[in-house]
């Protein structure tokens, strides 16, 4: 049962609950596209507290709430900064619950959502806590893959870029392993997948390999998940240029790709996915961004109304 539940980390959800959310998200697509109208959450209020800028995530949550007939109160930007300076998060949360039915929290500190959930009497959804968890990103990634392939257990997924610090890649990898996919982690050795994540994946018996050869992995790949490599991770700029260059995807690299292979990216991108790929049948990153709306609609409705 998801009704009343906090969503702090993807591991808080059972496999069954994940399936239920993804199925619900599929039902929500026509409403997200405004082809159908819904008043399901009429009279309900979402407190959208963004103490760190993340326009995409915030708009996607707010759109989801409004498409279901609910309304939104919001804190962002300077107002958020002064709240953080002025009171504890524990107090902010207890203020928010006086005004709303559910809280979405984005916060610069890791563990913020877990703490907020502990103090709140209404459900809290983690919209990203520092370098920590971002469960709705993982859910929308899974939804995007499932919409395309249905049976995730037969897939080979290649995840490339900054795997050490890129939090979205950690929970996605764990979730995909749980569902039986095989994985290639493609990154320069200094920013490869951390050992504790690899341990977790091995523990589930999932087939996986480490590589630094993006081109070599493409032919066997069904889903190519690209992420951004950040300059700040490298001691000097020259080193960054060299490394980042090897993890940039352009059109001719897709020559040996499977016909149905999809390219995903959590966006925003810098230049790790060349715009020439956008019009091809492989590009799925804009679809992926849209999918944030039906997935968050599914979550909001399941948490507030239960499975109806």
Q: Which does 90 bind (CB under 5 to 8 A by kind): Zn ion, another protein, none?
A: another protein
Give the orientation angle of helix 55-67 with respect to helix 135-149, to 10 degrees. 70
Task: Clarify whether 56 is annotated catalytic.
Answer: yes
**CA-closest candidate to residue 140, choices 247, 2, 259, 284:** 284
Q: Which is nearer to another protein, 26 or 114 (CB)?
A: 114
Q: Any idea of the CA torsion for 120, 121, 125, 129, to the nearest 10 degrees?
A: 10
Q: How far is the CB of 166 from another protein (least distance, A)?
A: 15
Residue of 58, 67, 106, 296 with catalytic role? 106
User: Is 248 one of the catalytic residues?
Assistant: no
The phi, psi pair for 251, rounded to 5°, reads -60, -45
Catalytic site residue from 107, 134, 170, 265: 134
For residue 281, the minimal CB distance to another protein (Å) is 38
**Dihedral through CA 30, CA 33, CA 34, CA 35, nearest 10?**
-50
Shortest distance, position 112 Cβ to another protein, whole Å: 5
Cβ count near 224 (within 10 Å): 28
Residue reference for tokens 């760190």: 52
Span interacting with Zn ion, options 9-17, 32-40, 106-114, 170-178, rule CB under 5 A: 106-114
Here the tokens at position 165 are: 């610090």
How many C-beta neighbours within 10 Å does residue 126 have? 26
106 noted as active-site residue: yes
Token couple for 167: 């939090």
- Give yes or no for residue 178 binding another protein (CB under 8 A): no
Q: Which is nearer to another protein, 5 or 20 (CB)?
A: 5
String of contacts with another protein for each residue 189-218, x by CB under 8 A: -------x----------------------
Residue 174 in contact with another protein, rule: CB under 8 A: no
Nearest Cα to 102, choosing from 300, 302, 278? 300
* Contact code string over 115-134 relative to another protein, x by CB under 8 A: x--x----------xxxxx-
Residue in this structure with the two tokens 């702090």, named with its chain if needed: 8
Q: Which residues are catalytic?
A: 56-57, 85, 106, 134
Which stretches of the chain bind Zn ion, using CB under 5 A?
Answer: 111
Which stretches of the chain bind another protein, using CB under 8 A?
Answer: 9, 88-90, 107-112, 114-115, 118, 129-133, 196
């Amino acid at each position: 049962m998801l009704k009343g539940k906090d969503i702090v980390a993807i591991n808080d959800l059972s496999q069954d609950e994940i399936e239920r959310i993804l199925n619900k998200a599929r039902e929500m697509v026509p409403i997200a596209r405004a082809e159908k109208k819904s008043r399901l959450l009429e009279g309900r209020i979402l407190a959208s507290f963004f103490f760190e800028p993340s326009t995409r995530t915030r708009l996607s949550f707010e759109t989801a709430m409004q498409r279901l007939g609910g309304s939104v109160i919001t804190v962002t930007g300077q107002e958020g900064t002064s709240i953080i300076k002025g009171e504890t998060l524990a107090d902010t949360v207890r203020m928010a619950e006086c005004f709303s039915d559910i809280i979405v929290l984005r916060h610069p500190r890791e563990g913020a959502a877990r703490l907020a959930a502990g103090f709140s009497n209404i459900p809290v959804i983690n919209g990203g806590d520092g370098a920590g968890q971002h469960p709705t990103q993982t859910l929308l990634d899974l939804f995007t893959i499932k919409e395309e392939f249905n049976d995730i257990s037969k897939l080979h997924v290649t995840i490339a870029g900054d795997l050490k610090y890129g939090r979205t890649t950690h929970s996605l990898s764990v979730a995909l392993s749980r569902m039986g996919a095989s994985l290639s982690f493609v990154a320069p050795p200094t920013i490869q997948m951390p050992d504790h994540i690899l341990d977790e994946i091995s523990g589930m018996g999932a087939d996986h390999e480490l590589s630094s050869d993006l081109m070599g992995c493409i032919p066997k790949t069904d889903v190519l998940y690209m992420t951004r490599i950040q300059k700040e991770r490298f001691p000097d700029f020259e080193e960054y240029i060299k490394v980042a260059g090897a993890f940039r995807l352009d059109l001719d690299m897709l020559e040996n790709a499977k016909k149905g292979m999809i390219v995903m990216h959590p966006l925003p991108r810098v230049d790790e996915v060349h715009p020439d790929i956008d019009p091809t049948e492989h590009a799925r990153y804009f679809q992926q961004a849209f999918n944030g709306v039906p997935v968050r609609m599914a979550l909001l409705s399941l948490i507030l109304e239960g499975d109806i």
